[in-house]
Chains A and B, each alone.
Chain A
Amino acid sequence: DFLNRYPKDQVSGDTFWGSEQDALSGLNAVYDAMQTGDYYMYNNYMYNDGLTPNAYSQGAYQGFQAIGNGTHTATAPGAVAGRWTYCYAGVYRANLFLENVGNAIEDEALLNRTQGEARFLRALYYHNLVMLYGDVPLILKTQSLEEAIVPRTPKADVLAQIHADLDFAANNLPDAYEGSNIGRVTKGAALALKARVHLYEGEYQQTVDLTQQIINMNQYGLVGIYEDVFSPQNENNEEVVFDVQYIAGALGEGNRFDKLLGNRNAAASGWSSLVPVKELVDAYECIDGLPIDQSPLFDADNPYENRDPRLASTVITPGSYFKGALFSLDPDENEVQHQSRSGFLMRKYVDSTDEAQAWDSPGNFIVIRYADVLLMYAEAKNELSGPDAEVYEAINAIRTRVGMPEVPTGLTQEEMRSKIRHERRVELAIEGLYYFDILRWKTVEEVNNGDIHDANGKVVESRSFNPERDYLWPIPQSELDLNPELEQNKEY
């Protein structure tokens, strides 16, 4: 008919979900939501470290700088609305898939597996939401405009749903995949995320049980060389429990780390927009296992020598060479163009081959890795029953992998707690997890309240943490404006 015209480059909603192929495409879109939003979600998960004394986010517009120093508001640009938005985009796609997949897939095994994948991803999005915003609307189906006006659901109810989703996933997902299915959610991923959710709630017994279960699967191990864990050439290695998969090649499926984190010398012409600060660098022990203020190996004139090797794998420190160019604080000898206000640059997740192009780098971002599982196990077990042999074994596995001495024996529970916390910080630095750690440990009030410093010891900025308010982010003001049922978090 002359007047009936339909979109030419889109699939009609009336006929979609008619085949298994449609369903798998729908599921892929649920994965894709982890990458959407340019800067928010896993494209910039490491910026979480900019909210801690690990790093400083140099650009204001991404929003992390303000959250880090406590000047953020509900109308702040960037992350406050960004994370909310893109988590719910993922939730929506998962809900849409779960509502329709029953019509599209006949094979019951495939049906259960794909439902498990979608429910894991939904749980992952909700986990991020409750960690950042507390109570959030629990939406489990696609909504009409009228249905969208909903209040916040108590965090406990959201957590219950997260566990239900993860239990279903753990029961229906395989231990591993082969070939072109590698990268999909596994049973181990579901168990590990579940362990993380429990750990963050201080539910140590469940954490121990779940991490033990993962260890017993014998599916995972530690990669021999720390740097290789993150290398694009060594993807899908034995340490990866779950990651966000990227590929380069101008397909729109590359990550953005080299643009965001890399320096100007790189082919991606990076922004150096998140830079480590002295507080993180100083946290790395000397090679003898002692903190720098105790170790005889520490030389204030050559502060980056004789250090935990993970420092050099995580941070480009002044005086070091990266991709053959000298990086220096002295503008005259510096061969690297940098904008770092701290004098340090990122190395972890930055392409060392210099092939990554702007906005299009190949490496995967690891959401959960086995080292984290071991550290979760150690931490929960220590909290439950003190530093027993298994706790030592777990933490020492992490340390000996990089050639660091084992932790001293005979530690008290408290001493061990401090060792584990230190280990989490340096092992998992710039992976976006330390922020949630200091929040749940409540150490944030101390460590992120005061100045952070550059390589020369000068103040980069002053941090302020308001315990009445800053354990949660504000609900984005735009959402409050649109949904009168929503209430703002305290003090915002």
Chain B
Amino acid sequence: LTLSIISAAPGNAQVTSVKDAYIHITKRNVSLQQVFNTVEAMTNYEFTYDARKVNLQQSIADLNYEGNVYGLLVELSERCDCRFKQVNENITVSKAPAKRKVAEERVSVLQEVVVKGKVSDSSGEILPGVTILVKGTTQGTTTDMEGNYSIAVAEDAVLVFSYIGYKTQEVVVGSRSQIDVLMDFDQEQLDEVVVVGYGTQQKENLTGAVSSVNFETIQNRPIASASTALSGLAPGVHVNQSSGQPGRDNATIRIRGIGTLGNSNPLVLVDGIEASMNDINPNDIESMTVLKDAASAAIYGSRAANGVIIITTKKGKEGKLKLSYNGYYAWQKATNIIESVNDYATYMELANEGLTNVGGQPKYSQETIDAWKSGKDPLVYPNTDWTSLIFQAAPMQEHHISLNGGTEKMRFLFSTGVLDQEGIIPNTSYKRYNMRLNWDADVTKKLKIGANISGSWNIRKEPGDVATIMNWLGGTAPGIVPESPDGFFGGAQALDENQQLNNPWSVIQQRDKQEEWQRFLARGFLEYEIVDGLTFQTNAAIKYYNMVLSDFNPKGDLYKFLPDGEKQVHRPYATRASLTNKNRRDYNITLFTTLTYEKQIGRDHFIKVLAGFNQEEYRKDEYSASIKEFPNNNVRELNAGLEDPTLAGTAEDWALRSYFGRVNYELRDRYLFEANIRYDGSSRFAQGNQWGAFPSLSLGWRISEEAFLQDVDFIDNLKLRASWGKLGNQNINRLYGFASSYTTGLNYSFNGNLVSGIAPTALANRDITWETSTTTDIGLDIELLEGKFSLTADYFDRTTEGILVAVPIPKTMGNLTSPVQNIAKVQNKGWELTLGHQNTINELNYSASFNVTKVDNEVIKYKGGNAPPNGVFLIREGHAINSLYGYKVEGIFQSDDEVTQHATQWPGTSAGDLKYADLNDDGKIDGDDRTVIGNIIPEYYFGLNLSASYKGFDLSALFQGVANQDVFLTGNFIAPFASSEAGMFPTRWLDRWTPDNKSTELPRLTHSSRFTGNIQNSSFWIEDASFIRLKNLQIGYTLPAKVTDKLGVEKVRVYANGQNLLTWTSFEGFDPERDPKKTQIVHPNVRIMSLGLNVNF
């Protein structure tokens, strides 16, 4: 914000109108300036003007005037292309507008009036210090401690009320003398100060690529994890939530593509301390800033290569105590469920078809099939719809209370809440209790101290590993009774069925895995202003995590239900009951200290310098114990176990030490310069390779401040940015990749005696060091028509070199785990665009913001040549990371002749099978015919955020999606009979190829265990995972003040919210928003509908 000199208007004595003052003036060849001087000398009038806008030196050829001053001004205005306005004794001179008005309209004479009033915000809070300016002048005043103001202005004046955090308002004075103003809270304005690394920056002075997300609107969403909240809101940020399982629904965040072959997670800082996004309750978040380019992130050096997310929690505010409650109750349902073949007779017929198609014997006898067709007893002849059984509707609720207040000297915010979420799979749930205290105090004028203390207690329940359950769900068949009415779990009913089929329901009902963890984060800080402009700040923080896991897998029998009502134990020797307990404890200790100096030098120079030190260390200890066989399923502690106790435990640590600095320089408010450097030392590398320096440089040019744009009224802001910098990535998966070490536990036994065996199992590489990414960014910010329209565009190129890759080594070296080497190079190039619009029409406020990002990912260097694929995923130079690799399907063979004529495929190929392209034209389909057939990294991702409010109603909608993303899907629930002749498959396979049904896209049924021709990695199994989804819709209603006043509360708002409400996609799996590296079915995402309440006291 620019500071203006505010002067209260002088008193208002009766003055003479220019129409009543007479003058005689005769001059030859004078300048305009001289005319003004003459008039000033002859009258009481005083001319005011902006010398840059009005050419005072232009000459007035012959001036011979006699009459009132008004006439003189009219004449001057015609000759000099300017206009005049008299207010009291002032005559303001300005340039005439392009479209000329008649000369008389260029000279106006106005009466001055005194306007008084009170300024408050929409909640009735009095606002002191509101700036009131007369539009187009520097004349103005501010409100006093009671929110009152008084100003003398001309009656046509427009008063501009502005206050940080509120929308600027313009009021035409007219003939009113009392004008009370209600200021509206303004999102945009709040964003004007943006949190950046180790400090803040005014948005207009930012030179890097930074997105800032305010959390106000996000808070009422039924989301458990802060990571999912970011979805669709910030350009360049791709949020992917791959599961809706309670406690495991946190999203992955990728900033501007995938920059490394290793860990691509951004660095997340909560109040300056590295933390996980899951550590924090979304309700406590004030704002999130995403640092995307090297210039803004370089201050975090070796951890910033994948971008940085800075989270700031809410702070206490001076003023009266405010208590607020947020709560909702929600219902969850899977977003989409694949319909599978649940009619067992059909299932068996199809299975037989699949077997006989490949020369096998039918697995199910006609007798069995007929029995199911005529069988009525669902216990004996079940046709189980597993998905409807396993994915149910589930409730969720959250309640959050925060208390906030403080005095001039001390402020605090206390919050606490509970989240209780049940999963759509029974026996899955997540509960979280959390608490936070943010406190700060001004001990003296110079000394400030504060603390943030937060903790959470989390309990997650699940019936073992949900991925395994999904696997079993896929691998079962409809001919199993999940559970009889009297509580017995069924196994395969038909004798000709695979007797080893699992009953996923019995696992869901019986297995009991509970993970309980506590997180605790405490940070204390001290800030001291040594001299004016020089501030010292130091922070110490500890982050502590403790986890206890108990996983009990009971002994469970499956039963076969006989027609006579009896039942038979299906699996007399089921595996033994087992129990595993695990305890893990981690801590991080972080210290950081900064010294900041800022100074305005003269009018034109502003300089800000930062120097700092940071160090962090981490240690994890864990141990686990397990035991098997229990007296019964009800005792579930280690002591009660009987057989095979085992123990395991380990520990690991790392440390990081850093020095950093930053210089900001602003020249005449429009030429901006910033440079950063960070010098980092990491324990992940050997001595000698531990230290690295990461510099960055960025420039900004606020073109709108230039003289030549001063008169272009519709441009509020126009800024060009450019930045360059180098960042590091030390976040490699091996903490000790440099250390040569021998693995224990390669044991053997002699004559019944256990002996210890020790040998290396990995090859170390002493030479490893940082991955370095270099980012160039060019950006443009435009704001038009007083913020009504805005545009931000960025082009970026991020190239990461020396990516640590465990390049496979020949097994002849001893089957050693490959050493990591600084080898690979990956480039992400792309652009981001954000378009914003906001407006107010009468009482309707609305805004729309659209953002889109395009990223092209390419592996520039990997291992040279033709790196072999890892299954269907390929990392190869010239292609995107983990490109999909396989055969190209040309269609389906319609006849055996066509098979013969085509290149030779797998033995047994016949009509109805997939036809692969013979890419190298050698007459046979083999590994050499494989090619890149898809890209799992979305090319575009976008978000559209709409909001509107009218009177008490408010509405917001968020659309989000990706385009051009491929996913490879295989296995059960996708392909028929994918696992040993069993497995659920979608009903779409009813339209498979048969000699009678040739016009289909699906091949004939074949059993994968006997014929692999159709289950090769091929384009057939690739799905387009592009989607657009109504990620969130919220409708709220705030009770009118007269009602809330009666209730004695400040604000009451009720709302309804829907998360993942609608999805538009052609994707055939459960949900297109999934981990694209997982090729099997996974826990679906959930649609959550909630009703909630906000109350402020």
Contact = CB atoms under 8 A, between A and B. Distances in A.
Interface string A231-272: 000011000000001110111110000000000111101000
Interface in B969-992: 980
A316 to B, nearest CB: 16
A26 B743 CA distance: 10
A201 B744 CA distance: 39
Nearest to B629: A357
Interface stretch (A5-13, A293-301, A374-382, A415-423): A5-13
Given A184-B750, A246-B749, A253-B747, A145 B809 contact: yes
B384 interface: no
Interface string B336-366: 0000000000000000000000000100000
A249 B747 CA distance: 14
Contacts, number: 221
Given A252-B745, A267-B573, A269-B573, A3 B751 contact: no
Interface string B700-742: 0000000000000000000000000000000000011001111
Contact of A479 (B617, B656, B811): B811
Interface string B748-769: 1111111111111001100000
A183 B651 contact: no
B810 A357 contact: no
A253 B748 contact: yes
Which of A30, A32, A148, A267 has the most chain B CB atoms closer than 10 A to its own CB? A32
A12 B739 contact: yes
A240 to B, nearest CB: 11
B615 interface: yes
At the interface, is chain B mostly helix, strand, loop or mixed? loop
Contact of A2 (B361, B657, B819, B1009): B657
B655 interface: yes
A137 B810 CA distance: 11
Q: Which residue of B651, B744, B754, B755 has the most chain A CB atoms within 10 A of its CB atom?
A: B755
B566 to A, nearest CB: 15
A315 interface: no
B868 A5 contact: no
B650 A9 contact: yes
B511 to A, nearest CB: 16
Contact of A10 (B683, B743, B748): B743
Interface in A38-80: 59-60, 71, 75
Contacts of B736: 5-7
Interface stretch (B62-70, B495-503, B660-668): B495-503
Contact of A264 (B499, B654, B741): B499
A234 B648 CA distance: 32
B995 interface: no
Contacts of B751: 179-183, 235-236, 245
Contact of A6 (B649, B739, B811, B812): B739
Nearest to A5: B683
A358 interface: yes
Contacts of B646: 250
Contact of B866 (A75, A145, A357, A481): A481
Nearest to A25: B758
Contacts of B487: none
B571 interface: yes
A339 interface: yes
A478 B868 contact: yes
Contacts of A32: 746-748, 757, 759
A32 B739 CA distance: 24
Contact of B813 (A26, A35, A143, A458): A143
A478 B759 contact: no
B744 A148 contact: no
Nearest to B690: A3
Name the residue among B649, B753, B759, B866 with the largest chain A CB count within 10 angstroms.
B759
Contacts of B907: 71
Interface string A161-191: 0000000000000000001111110000000
A135 interface: no
A483 interface: yes
Given A9-B650, A246-B749, A357-B576, A139 B812 contact: yes
Interface string B638-655: 000001111001111111
A3 B682 contact: yes
**Chain B interface residue number, banded:** 35 or more
B572 interface: yes
B495 to A, nearest CB: 5
B651 A9 contact: yes
B40 to A, nearest CB: 74
A28 interface: yes
Contacts of B819: 145
B29 interface: no
Contacts of B812: 88, 137, 139, 143, 148, 150, 479, 483
Contacts of B757: 25-26, 28-29, 31-32
B224 to A, nearest CB: 34
Contacts of B868: 477-478, 481
A159 interface: no
B750 A181 contact: yes
B750 A182 contact: yes
B363 to A, nearest CB: 11
B748 A28 contact: yes
Nearest to A264: B500
Interface stretch (A89-97, A209-217, A220-228): A89-97
Contacts of A331: 495-496
A344 interface: no
Interface in B863-886: 866-868
Contacts of B753: 180
A249 B645 CA distance: 8
A263 B254 CA distance: 48
A269 B866 CA distance: 43
Contact of B741 (A2, A7, A252): A7
A337 interface: yes
A358 B815 CA distance: 26
Contacts of B815: 36-37, 85-86, 88-89, 92
A29 B575 contact: no
B750 A245 contact: yes
Contacts of A477: 868, 927
Contacts of A8: 650-653
Nearest to B906: A71
B683 A4 contact: yes
Residue among B649, B811, B927 with max Cβ neighbours from chain A (10 Å): B811
A482 B808 contact: yes
B342 to A, nearest CB: 25
A147 B813 CA distance: 9
B690 to A, nearest CB: 5
22 contacts: A3-B682, A4-B687, A6-B739, A6-B741, A13-B739, A25-B758, A26-B758, A29-B758, A71-B907, A81-B811, A150-B812, A235-B752, A236-B751, A247-B754, A250-B643, A251-B747, A251-B749, A253-B747, A253-B754, A264-B500, A357-B576, A483-B812
Q: Which 7 pairs across A and B sit closest by C-beta, in order of nearness?
A: A92-B814, A250-B644, A13-B740, A28-B757, A29-B757, A29-B759, A89-B815
Interface of A: 2-14, 16, 22, 24-26, 28-33, 35-37, 59-60, 71, 75, 81, 84-86, 88-89, 91-93, 95-96, 137, 139, 142-143, 145, 148-150, 179-184, 235-236, 245-247, 249-253, 264-267, 269, 331-332, 337, 339, 354, 357-358, 360, 458, 476-479, 481-483
Interface of B: 361, 495-496, 498-500, 571-576, 615, 617, 628, 643-646, 649-657, 681-683, 687, 690, 735-736, 739-760, 763-764, 808-816, 819, 866-868, 907, 927, 980, 1009
Given A3-B655, A478-B808, 20 more contacts: A2-B657, A3-B682, A7-B735, A11-B741, A16-B758, A26-B757, A32-B759, A92-B814, A137-B812, A145-B813, A148-B809, A148-B812, A181-B750, A182-B751, A246-B749, A264-B571, A267-B573, A339-B498, A479-B812, A483-B812
